[in-house]
Amino acid sequence: MTMRLWSFALQWARVGIAAAVFLVATRFLTLAEIGLFATAIAPVRLTQGLHKAGIGEAVIITGKSRRRCDALFAMSTGTGLLLSVLLASVGIATQTPLLTTLAAIPTLNGLAAVSEGLLRRRLALRALALRTMAVQTFAAAITLWMLVSGIGPWALATFALLNTGLSCGLSICLAGYYPKSVPNWRYQSLIRPLITQITTRDLLTNAQFPLAQLAIGLTLGMTAAGAFQIATRMLSLIEALTLSPLRFIALPQLRAATDLRTSLQRHLRLNATLAAWIWGGTVAAAPNILALVVGTEHANTVSPILRALALTGLFTALWMPLLQALTATGHTQLVLRHATLGSMLAVILVAPTLLCNPTLSAASLSMAALITSLWFLPHSLKPLKLTRHDLSPIMAPLIAGALMAGGLLLIPALNLATQVLLGTAFYAAALYAGRRKVNITDTTTQTAPRTPRNAA
């Protein structure tokens, strides 16, 4: 396998297997039990950016020196222990045993963060992918046995702990790194601003769902939190199967591209074609998809939430090449502002819906993504030296996807296989017609005779 294929395998193993295990668990658990676990794991997920992104990327960028790695290890383990103590204290104070148990995860992440960063720095993607697949498969087998035995939400907590603990041990063994010096405060003070910037960016980008999950659980109850968690995990699974491979391809190709405009248009066309088909189909067939994946008992409750979140998934896929191009050309501040605006709007728009229902909260997240997109698009064109015409490759897929979704929603209830076949055929036909019209228009514009400047 090539390095790119190992990258795909690594990303899918990290996101896809965990989401698949959770969705299988929904057949054994009630919405209230799912919501109880989701609310307990939400604050833990909020802390993972420090070690997964902040420390890990700092090792990649500055980890040439052994002393710097030792300084990063001291920071990583220290913050991990501190976060574990804080989360455990909150769990004890609120009488939430699941949170108290899951509080060990930040410490395990802190111990493995430097080793994980070193493996990524060495591009040991094969080792990372095989490790992740082996660990997740073993943890999944134990979890399924516990679910069948009737352990309840503790089975999901066991999966999270096993996954983190085994990954930590194997990362340390594979990297072969052990600290050999005492913490150096001078090195730590030099590295701290970089870690803070990376962690803040990751937190702003990935904190929307955990924060919304926690807020819904505390205000609307565990049943609503369980339904929202199923919808977000379904969203993650769809993205892992469709968007994640494209994300790994985009950044290195755009960074090495000699003609950024042409390469970016190609990525925009590919992402838009796939995303409009996937998310248009998800909107139309959400009840049938969820009935197949999580069972009919939860499908009716979760499908409106998943439909409301589909716009968020669509925008994430559409603008990924632009964000990657900005990163590749060094315009990281604009990427950070994009994440900041999206998070602020999400908090502002979701807050009033916490007294209503989780579907409105999901729709508010999509509305925040829409407003952020309207701000982001004009601001991204100038740094990349693009015009609005350069975004034209996304128009035909968007129109075709909207027509497909609308057509399927107007047709009486069909089974999932019929919806997929009929929707795909309609989407392909509409996409072909739309692109042909755009190509004819472009050709006509290019070949139209020009009027002489001094003609009467």
Match 């769809």 to its residue by tokens.
238
- Tell me how far apart the alpha carbons of residues 219 and 195 are, in angstroms, rounded to a whole number: 33
Instruction: Mark out the alpha helices in 94-184 (DSSP H runs).
Output: 97-102, 105-121, 125-148, 154-175
- How far from 174 is each of 65, 169, 177, 178, 430, CA to CA, in Å? 19, 9, 8, 11, 50
Cβ neighbours of residue 266 closer than 8 Å, sequence gap 6 or more:
none
222 and 36 Cβ atoms separated by less than 8 Å: yes
- In the structure encoding, which two tokens stand for residue 152, read together? 């309840």
- pLDDT tens-digit map of 87-134: 999 999 988 899 999 999 999 998 988 888 888 777 777 888 888 889
Chain centre distance of CA 452: 54
- Tell me how far apart the alpha carbons of residues 183 and 3 are, in angstroms, rounded to a whole number: 35
Is the pLDDT score of 438 beyond 60? Answer: no
Per DSSP, 358 falls in state H
- pLDDT tens-digit map of 270-319: 888 988 999 999 999 999 999 888 888 888 899 999 999 999 989 988 88
- pLDDT tens-digit map of 324-359: 888 777 787 888 888 889 889 998 999 999 888 899
pLDDT band of residue 451 (cuts 50, 70, 90) is very low
| Per-residue pLDDT at 447 | 47
- Tell me how far apart the alpha carbons of residues 174 and 171 are, in angstroms, rounded to a whole number: 5
In three-state secondary structure terms, 452 is coil
Residues in the chain: 456
Average pLDDT, the chain: 83
- pLDDT tens-digit map of 38-89: 899 989 988 887 777 777 777 777 656 777 788 888 888 888 899 999 999 9
**For the chain, what is the total number of helices (H) and then of strands (E)?**
18, 0
Is the pLDDT score of 253 beyond 70? Answer: no
Q: How many CA atoms lie less than 13 Å away from 330 in the CB half-sphere?
A: 0
- Fill in the amino acid letter for 229: Q
- How far from 173 is each of 76, 169, 227, 433, CA to CA, in Å? 18, 6, 39, 55
pLDDT band of residue 246 (cuts 50, 70, 90) is low
Segment holding 396, helix H or strand E: helix 395-410
404 and 281 Cβ atoms separated by less than 8 Å: yes
390 and 321 Cβ atoms separated by less than 8 Å: no
Span 202-207, average pLDDT: 74
Match 């739309």 to its residue by tokens.
434
- In the structure encoding, which two tokens stand for residue 90, read together? 């909150």
- In the structure encoding, which two tokens stand for residue 183, read together? 């913490």
- pLDDT tens-digit map of 398-416: 999 999 999 888 887 788 8
User: Is the torsion defined by CA of 383, 385, 387, 392 positive or negative?
Assistant: negative
Angle made by CA atoms 446, 447, 453, in degrees to the nearest 5: 85
264 and 325 Cβ atoms separated by less than 8 Å: yes
| Per-residue pLDDT at 1 | 55
- pLDDT tens-digit map of 361-402: 999 999 999 999 999 999 988 888 888 888 888 898 999 999
- In the structure encoding, which two tokens stand for residue 210, read together? 């955990």
45 and 83 Cβ atoms separated by less than 8 Å: no
- Tell me how far apart the alpha carbons of residues 310 and 239 are, in angstroms, rounded to a whole number: 11
* Closest C-alpha to 254, from 330, 313, 202, 316: 330
* Annotated domain spans of the chain: 1-206, 220-441
- Tell me how far apart the alpha carbons of residues 429 and 439 are, in angstroms, rounded to a whole number: 15
| Per-residue pLDDT at 454 | 46
- pLDDT tens-digit map of 171-184: 989 888 888 776 66
Span 188-193, average pLDDT: 72
